[in-house]
């Protein structure tokens, strides 16, 4: 499986083309719209989320609700495009007022590095594509992957474990379904109702101070069969692909599995998961400190992965920068106004992880048809239980 995305933040639409889905997979626009709506929620989001009501149009690869195995094209239109038709239009123009040239890079964004890389004197050519708006269609692609995983008995959910230094003290949940239900009803996607209120206050305080705050999200996956991935080559290790997916999300700067960086502070006896065996269940681990991954492969235990998101760098209390034309110092301009996007980023993390897991599965098992893929996964689970 693979996909490409196209589109700018204020362009007419965002597009993704997905290749490699098995034939015969049920897929409806509402499967994707659900994830798109989740991405737009969360305490601390800015006005853009009120402008855009993201819904998908499936324009190829699906007929009568089933995938054809040909490329699936998904389109999400930008409702705000009507205000940007001249500024972002494809037709040539010499009108500098229409162009609204940007020569002032914002600290923490891709503006300056992108301008240096591609030679853009107008940094709107950079910021339009580097915007987190692009995650809209990455979530759309991930929603398709989540649908496939669900048909294989694999469930994905997420929650926020920290915002602005406020940590959730509740980490236990009855099932992955209850985790999803509780966090879906939380404005900050947190399991801890006490921490939830403190997180919301911290977000409000940051906004009032013209500042922003970041946090940590956790993705949990249940039902992955053991042995997905490989120890044979570095580029086939499943944990490396998952780590890359997390840090590919805008503003994410770190990733850990299981107990993560705590492993550096503990002896090996408190880090590694002892192996047990029982009739019917087969081999399993007595703990899950390594987050369901060993040697670059899934163990069959829940996969637990966390990502850290830095504060959004565009502030109402702007930082200093330098104009690339005049070379004069200035205070950076404001392009967006989220004071905290961590709850929404948890949804993005869910979907990029879902994509990597679905890709790993379709790479490893025969996946031209959904029915044969389902059987292959069932056979792998049975083989592992009886090994």
User: What is the total residue count of the chain?
Assistant: 387
Number of domains in the chain: 1
Beta-sheet strands, E only, within 96-248: 155-163, 166-167, 215-222
Range(s) of the domain holding residue 26: 2-386
Q: Which residues contact 255 (CB under 8 A, 6 or more apart)?
A: 242, 243, 246, 247, 305, 306, 307, 308
Q: Report the pLDDT value the prediction gives residue 41, as an integer from 0 to 100.
A: 92
Q: Which residues contact 315 (CB under 8 A, 6 or more apart)?
A: 210, 211, 212, 332, 334
Task: Report the SS3 class of residue 311.
Answer: coil
Q: Report the pLDDT value the prediction gives residue 103, as an integer from 0 to 100.
A: 95
- Measured from the Cβ of residue 235, the count of other Cβ atoms closer than 10 Å reads 9
Q: Report the pLDDT value the prediction gives residue 47, as an integer from 0 to 100.
A: 63
pLDDT in tens, the chain (387 residues): 999 999 999 999 999 999 999 999 999 999 999 999 999 999 987 665 667 789 999 999 999 999 999 999 999 999 999 999 999 999 999 888 888 899 999 899 999 999 999 999 999 999 999 999 999 999 999 999 999 999 999 999 999 999 999 999 999 999 999 999 999 999 999 999 999 999 999 999 999 988 899 999 999 999 999 999 999 999 999 999 999 999 999 999 999 999 999 999 999 999 999 999 999 899 999 999 999 999 999 999 999 999 999 998 877 777 899 999 999 998 876 655 688 999 999 999 999 999 999 999 999 999 999 999 999 999 999 999 999
pTM, to two decimals: 0.95
What CATH number is attached to the domain comprising 124? 3.60.150.10
């Amino acid at each position: 499986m693979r996909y490409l995305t196209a589109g700018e933040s204020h362009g007419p639409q965002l597009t993704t083309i997905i290749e490699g889905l098995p034939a015969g997979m049920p897929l409806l626009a509402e499967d994707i719209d659900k994830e798109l709506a989740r991405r737009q929620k969360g305490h601390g989001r800015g006005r853009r989320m009120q402008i855009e009501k993201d819904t998908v149009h499936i324009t190829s690869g699906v007929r009568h609700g089933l995938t054809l195995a040909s490329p699936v094209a998904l389109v999400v239109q930008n409702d705000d495009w009507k205000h940007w038709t001249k500024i972002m239009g494809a037709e040539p123009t010499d009108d500098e007022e229409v162009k609204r040239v940007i020569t002032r890079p914002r600290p923490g964004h891709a503006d300056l590095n992108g301008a240096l890389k591609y030679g853009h004197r107008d940094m709107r050519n950079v910021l339009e594509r580097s915007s987190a708006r692009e995650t809209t269609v990455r979530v759309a692609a991930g929603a398709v992957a989540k649908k496939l995983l669900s048909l294989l008995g694999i469930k994905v959910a997420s929650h926020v474990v920290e915002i602005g230094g406020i940590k959730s003290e509740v980490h236990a949940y009855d099932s992955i379904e209850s985790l999803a239900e509780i966090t879906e009803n939380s404005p900050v996607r947190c399991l801890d109702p006490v921490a939830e209120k403190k997180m919301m206050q911290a977000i409000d305080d940051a906004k009032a101070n013209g500042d922003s705050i970041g946090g940590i999200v956790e993705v949990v996956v249940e039902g992955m069969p053991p042995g997905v991935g490989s120890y044979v080559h570095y580029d086939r290790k499943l944990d490396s692909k998952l780590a890359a997916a997390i840090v590919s999300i805008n503003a994410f700067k770190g990733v850990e599995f299981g107990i993560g960086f705590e492993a550096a502070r503990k002896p090996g006896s408190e880090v590694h998961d002892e192996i047990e065996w029982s009739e019917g269940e087969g081999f399993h681990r007595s703990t899950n400190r390594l987050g369901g991954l060993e040697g670059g492969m899934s163990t069959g235990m829940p996969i637990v992965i966390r990502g850290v998101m830095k504060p959004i760098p565009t502030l109402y209390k702007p930082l200093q920068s330098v104009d690339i034309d005049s070379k004069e110092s200035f205070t950076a301009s404001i392009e967006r106004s989220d004071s905290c996007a961590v709850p929404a980023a948890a949804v993005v993390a869910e979907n990029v992880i879902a994509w990597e897991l679905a890709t790993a599965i379709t790479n490893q098992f025969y996946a031209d048809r959904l029915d044969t893929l389902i059987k292959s996964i069932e056979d792998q689970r049975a083989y592992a239980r009886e090994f």
